Chains A and B, each alone.
Chain A
């Protein structure tokens, strides 16, 4: 069958899609967007998380045909998505209006703000605040869980700009990571939140 939908703001079409294919498969194998990852294909790891009409979902559990006419944002489009949101609201995580809460202090979060000298590959790429924070905090090791975590974390910060640690853990509880022990992922999300509230 033919399936067409919008991915990262661009209209996309795929032909000869087998009816049992997932949105994840179509993104990865037909549209050249392998950023969303295929770790479990049973909704138990979150590596394939994309936004479907704004809502974070496991793209492995969305039948390709169900995506017809919908809007998808994948990790490949996250930086653009955040930039447009920022232009729209003046806030890159989309939730800068709320103030207060009991998030981590900027000082604490910036313990990890050490900048590297040689991001030799992909240097100069424009990143969303969450993406930058994941790099800065050392939240990326093998990186296979990273795309899904970025989508989930970005969406959480959009809703909740000053999350407590328990809020972060709950929001990311559908994203497995096997390398980091999650501590640096916590640091990264705290850092993104702190930078955001500082930017206001």
Chain B
């Protein structure tokens, strides 16, 4: 095993180009577990922690450009307003120690369906900034996950940053685990209201081979909100709409039975989380809308 320590992003890309099998390591919270437990013996470890810019973010414009290695703790503390869904998801990641090290780049690189960031990214809308010596490209998050622990990166590419749309409305994230802290998701759900486009987006974690959106549920809800004039009148969403949304979210799952939970439970829980997060976000939206009206 060789340990490569590029001092700059350019050096990192060059190293990755030269050694496409090199395993990038930043927070180490996935890679080191595999090494400690002898599940993985990469020929090269590519340490990205010397590259300062990966731990930085820019919040100007429409989206936040989040460096791949910004620790979850920083996201929770500093980006709660711009990225509320991701901030909530970050808070559910493992433990304080892990949140101090791990970042979204690692979640994306590993592409485990159980990664906590995925549902929030899917719901908010995001693009993955992938780069190699050949150049840079933006991969829409919807196209990023290609299979169980597989993603759209080419062997010579590294994740430099994620561009996440700044919230234009309430977002929520909820995850089920069988412990009240430090737990891997049995399943997870992210929801973002986008009042500017009058759309909702969802993200489901750990309930299909990859993180997925519940597209039919989104379409149903978009139509229902539109038809009922909900975006304008700020009325309470009717229970039947919430229920149908939940049912469609459950239907978007394609889960398995494993040691963490049954497929049947995952479908059920995603439905419950979908209904609850819809209620929370919508109540929040109504509250904001009411205040705006009051001022006007």
Q: Which residues of A contact B (CB under 8 A)?
A: 1, 18-20, 22, 41-44, 46, 49, 55-58, 60-63, 65-66, 68, 152, 170-171, 173-175
Residue among A18, A49, A65, A171 with most chain B CB within 10 A: A65
B97 touches A42 (CB 8 A): no
Say if the beta carbon of B51 comes within 8 Å of chain A.
Answer: no
Given A46-B95, A66-B49, A174-B98: A41 and B3 interface contact (C-beta under 8 Å): no
Say if the beta carbon of B2 comes within 8 Å of chain A.
Answer: yes
Measured between beta carbons, the chain A residues less than 8 angstroms from B37 are 41-42
Task: Say which residue of B1, B32, B96 sits within 8 Å of A174 (CB atoms).
Answer: B96
Within 8 A of A (CB), among B85-99: 94-98
Measured between beta carbons, the chain A residues less than 8 angstroms from B32 are 22, 43, 60-63
B98 touches A60 (CB 8 A): no
Say if the beta carbon of B148 comes within 8 Å of chain A.
Answer: no
Task: Say which residue of B5, B27, B36, B100 sits within 8 Å of A42 (CB atoms).
Answer: B36
Chain B interface residue number, banded: 20 to 34
B101 touches A61 (CB 8 A): yes
Measured between beta carbons, the chain B residues less than 8 angstroms from A18 are 1
- Complex formed: what's the CA distance from A66 to B25 in Å? 9
Say if the beta carbon of B35 comes within 8 Å of chain A.
Answer: yes
A56 touches B96 (CB 8 A): yes
Task: Say which residue of A22, A46, A57, A68 sits within 8 Å of B101 (CB atoms).
Answer: A57
> What's the least CB distance linking A46 to chain B, in Å?
6
A66 touches B28 (CB 8 A): yes
Measured between beta carbons, the chain A residues less than 8 angstroms from B28 are 61-63, 66
Which chain A residue has the least Cβ–Cβ distance from B181? A173
Residue among B36, B47, B98 with most chain A CB within 10 A: B36
Measured between beta carbons, the chain B residues less than 8 angstroms from A152 are 96-97
Give me the 7 closest cross-chain CB pairs, A-B, nearest first: A174-B95, A173-B181, A19-B1, A19-B3, A61-B32, A65-B3, A41-B36
- Complex formed: what's the CA distance from A132 to B47 in Å? 38
- Complex formed: what's the CA distance from A20 to B180 in Å? 32
- Complex formed: what's the CA distance from A56 to B29 in Å? 14
